[in-house]
A = this chain, B = another copy of it.
Amino acid sequence: MKSNHVTLKDIARILELSPSTVSRALKDHPDINEETKKLVKTFAEKVNYRPNALALSLRQQKTNTIGLIIPEIVHHFFSSVISGIEDIAYGEGYNVMICQSNENYQREVIDTQALIDHRVDGILVSVSKTTRDFKHLQNAYDNGIPMVFFDRIVEEIKTDRVITDDFLGAQIATSHLIEKGCKNILHLAAPQHLVIGSRRKEGYLKALEEHGIETDEDLIVKCDTREYVFSLQQHLMKLIEEKHIDGIFAVNDSTAIATMQALQAEGIKIPEQIKVIGFGDGPNADIAYPPLSTVEQKGYETGREAMRLLLQRLENPGIEINFSTKVLTPTLKQRKST
């Protein structure tokens, strides 16, 4: 910030006008002389004048910036969400301040604080896996900053939300396996304190129930990352043998893909011996061998909707609108793994 920056005052001084006149000229205020306007504008253009966003924000008590807290940018779902948010935000003149919590609670707390410190106009959040205490978010909320949760929501805080119908998605995925002839379906699940973890498990259970298949708690294994799969490989193989597993529903694509690789390494044929389905439909699903059947989760749409809900609050300050929850419905993407 070494000041090679031209300020309003600089322009005023050089043009022998007052700062207010320059300010008004620049924004086409009706009662400024056309001559003056032209003079000021061409000069400002010439010296490449750009208003200081900090000063503007301070003055207007509005930053035109919204904060985003996201677990991990590397995940395709989340980076799609970012694109969705940005496309809407930019169109409305908002900037997006992206914070990556890295699935780390401490970092999330710090990020939230940083966003508050920067006086963002609103916050979009998907909480980290390790977050179990929500004081930091409650605090932002109490500060009067509009918030929208997406995907990994916090049920304790009442506000707008955008979620995927995880229950339905899991039900669709599981039913698909059943319809393909699977009888003993293993579920690789996310931590149950995450809403997506429990909802997807419930959808799985519901599908079994609907098809009159008895549930077996042993067939639900907490395992939601690629690394996790390989570390559990022995255990999983044993389970598959003992329980005659013929179908696997994994809580996300990368777990599903790693599982296929682990099984193939043990000589198991997919889909002939065991059918596998994931959840999310990132680009990996197409790359996997065989291409992975999965349930499509709309990241870009999630981002757009979240930003739209936030905008609604920002553009109607003070007006009480009932909180709404936008539910996106996932759809089956059948490929070769089922």
- A residues touching B (Cβ–Cβ < 8 Å)? 1-5, 48, 50-55, 57-58, 61-63, 73-74, 76, 79-80, 82-83, 86, 90, 95, 97-98, 100, 102, 110, 113-114, 116-121, 139, 142-145, 257, 261, 284, 287-289, 317-318
Contact = CB atoms under 8 A, between A and B. Distances in A.
Which 3 pairs, one residue from A and one from B, show the smallest C-beta to C-beta distance? A289-B289, A4-B144, A2-B144
A87 B287 CA distance: 30
Given A1-B63, A54-B118, A79 B73 contact: yes
A123 to B, nearest CB: 12
B98 A114 contact: no
A124 to B, nearest CB: 14
Contacts of A82: 73, 100
B119 A100 contact: no
A63 B119 CA distance: 14
A132 to B, nearest CB: 21
22 contacts: A1-B57, A1-B61, A1-B121, A1-B145, A2-B318, A3-B144, A50-B113, A50-B117, A52-B58, A52-B117, A53-B117, A54-B54, A54-B57, A54-B58, A73-B82, A73-B83, A74-B76, A86-B100, A95-B118, A98-B98, A288-B289, A289-B289
Contacts of A114: 53, 95
A2 B116 CA distance: 11
A54 B119 contact: yes
Contacts of A119: 1, 5, 52-54
A291 to B, nearest CB: 9
A4 B53 contact: no
Nearest to A107: B90
A140 to B, nearest CB: 10
A81 to B, nearest CB: 10
Contacts of A288: 287, 289
B117 A51 contact: yes
A151 B330 CA distance: 37
Given A48-B139, A90-B110, 15 more contacts: A2-B317, A50-B113, A53-B114, A54-B57, A54-B58, A54-B118, A54-B119, A55-B58, A79-B79, A95-B97, A95-B114, A287-B287, A287-B288, A288-B289, A289-B289
A294 B169 CA distance: 36
Nearest to A317: B2
A312 to B, nearest CB: 15
Nearest to A116: B50
Contact of A287 (B48, B61, B110, B257): B257
B100 A97 contact: no
Contacts of A97: 95, 97
Contacts of A86: 100
A67 to B, nearest CB: 11
Contacts of A110: 90
A321 to B, nearest CB: 15
Contacts of A48: 139
Nearest to A290: B289
A292 to B, nearest CB: 10
